[in-house]
Amino acid sequence: MTRNDIKHLKELRESERQYRPTSASIVFISLVYGWFILHYQAYFVGLLQPRLIGLPPELLGVPLIIFGLIQLFGMLFNCDIARRLSVIGLAFIWGGLFVVNFAYAFGDGYPNPIWLFMGKIIIDCIILATKGSYD
């Protein structure tokens, strides 16, 4: 490979990094869902409280917002550490929400398709983590 080829590959990689639909959607959904949990606590507590054993909604809403803002910071300022931290945190939170909602939907609860939504987000987080660029 010549220097021009390497330079072209680096430019191509940088142009691809500018388009971040997966990260942007995870940030948006995490921020909005975190706000929803905090704003409509009665809905969340009434729906899943028996499965969460008294866990206050703030312990789910606030981390979603914090890790969403960290991911946004990492995207805007091209900070890999912030993106890595947020992907791990968001994957953990969304994974927990997925398990709780899946168990509720197919356990003794009301059949609810929200676990599909949670599953899509956790899959997106895993894809981001395996890509390695955290974009």
3-state SS, one letter per residue, for 27-67: HHHHHHHHHHHHHCHHHHHHHHHHHHCCCCCHHHHHHHHHH
For residue 8, being part of any structural domain is answered with: no
The answer to whether residue 9 sits within a structural domain is no
pLDDT digits (tens, 9 = 90+) for 81-100: 888 888 889 989 888 888 87
**3 falls within a domain:** no
Total count of domains within the chain: 1
Lowest mean pLDDT among 14-28, 57-71, 88-102, 113-127: 14-28
- The verdict on residue 17 lying in a domain is no
16 in a domain, yes or no? no
**Are the C-beta atoms of residues 82 and 73 closer than 8 Å to each other?**
yes
Instruction: Map tokens 């953990």 to a residue.
Output: 92
Segments forming the whole domain that contains residue 53: 22-131
- Residue 17 above 60 pLDDT? no
The residue whose two tokens read 């550490």 is: 81
Q: Could you read off the pLDDT of 97-110 as tens digits, one per residue?
A: 888 778 777 776 66
